[in-house]
Structure 1
Amino acid sequence: MILVHHLADSRSQRLLWLLEELGLDYTIKRYERDPATMLAPSALKQLHPLGKAPLLQDGDLVLAETGAIFEYLLDTYDTGHRLRPPAGSAERRDFTYWLHYAEGSAMPPLLLKLVFSMLPRRAPALVRPLVRSIAAKAQSSFIDPQLKTHFDFIEASLTKGGWFLGSGFSAADIMMSFPLEAAASRGHNASLYPATRHYLSAIHARPTYRRALERGGTYAYSPA
């Protein structure tokens, strides 16, 4: 039996969605964030040294990192290539790109935006004006232009057919859901692009997406 160690309001919601798309039986152990730090609870460190979610247990196997978990599940259970193109095809190369782009390229500027937006209110009162000025400069001169470059790139890709692969919906769309949902929920301009808005509406309408929400519980990044 597959067991998912699932952290509320986190990337692990994508894993539940993938399992629903694959039609696999699984159970969930849900963890709540520390209300003071909003970090994962220390209990997850008993399962993996980094103490982060998601974690997948399949028999004796324990896997961390969403991309690695996706590849394992697709290798093991997607034998009909419903959610990933066959090896050696041009679309498989595109698929692999988007699978790793989600965390390797899309998420870092979003994380920087979050960190620099939080810095002023967490700084001591005496230096808060200086920290606010430095944070604003970092966002306007570097982070925001980086975000625009990525959103422009994503929008151009989605304009070609509505999904990240030309053949239609794939697990790459599941992987890409979190950075775009996170961006939209935080008021970034990802939601201002029409093809990106259509993509978000399309994934939220999928029955498998909605079943994953029902199984996983509250997920702040989705309006569904």
Structure 2
Amino acid sequence: MEATTGGATGTAGVPAPGCGSYLGGDVWYSVVVPSTGNLTVETGPAQGITTFDSAIALYSGDCGSMTLISCDDDGAATDAFSKLTVSNRTPGEVIYIRVWEYSNDNVAPFSLSAYDASLTAPGFDADSFLAYPNPVTTVLNLSYTKNISNVAVFNLLGQQVLAKAVSATATQMDMTPLAAGTYLVKVTVDGAVKTLKVVKQ
């Protein structure tokens, strides 16, 4: 979601965040801890604007009695944005998120996200994946640094025309039975799927 601290004032009666040169101008959000007990909260640029120097703090409790969990100023990978991860929290617990701009001297839009990073799907390293030849006349060769679990070929109508269970780092798909044309080949590795366009001659 996108947000801004424009028009925000300081919040009294809450433990000081302890980082990010807090001088007021904070905005608050809440998020429910997922069933895994893990939660990551992160700010980032919005509308292509990267001048917002964010800081965030996470709190537990309720509006009358909050406890500071953690605070971060520049922990995100992008510019001066923030990122906090908590684990082993109680599923269903409400966590309060306090966001402000470092020294409260700039108002610009920012983005805020809260997610369970432990559920993130594994990535597919395109640099380690080989598929050749393309165009193909008979056999399509596929290889990767990890075991390929499945290969499926679809026509452009979305119909599966070939499929093969695999448990190896290299395999071949016999494309001979297919008519000439363009196909989508989906390769599955550890739950991640790589889709490539292959031309059958």
For the aligned pair, the TM-score class normalised by the smaller chain equals: under 0.3
Q: With structure 1 as the length reference, what TM-score do the two structures score?
A: 0.19
Q: Based on CA coordinates, which of the two structures has the bigger radius of gyration?
A: 2
Higher helix fraction (1 or 2): 1
Q: With structure 2 as the length reference, what TM-score do the two structures score?
A: 0.21
Q: Which has the higher contact order (CA 8 A, sep 6+)?
A: 1
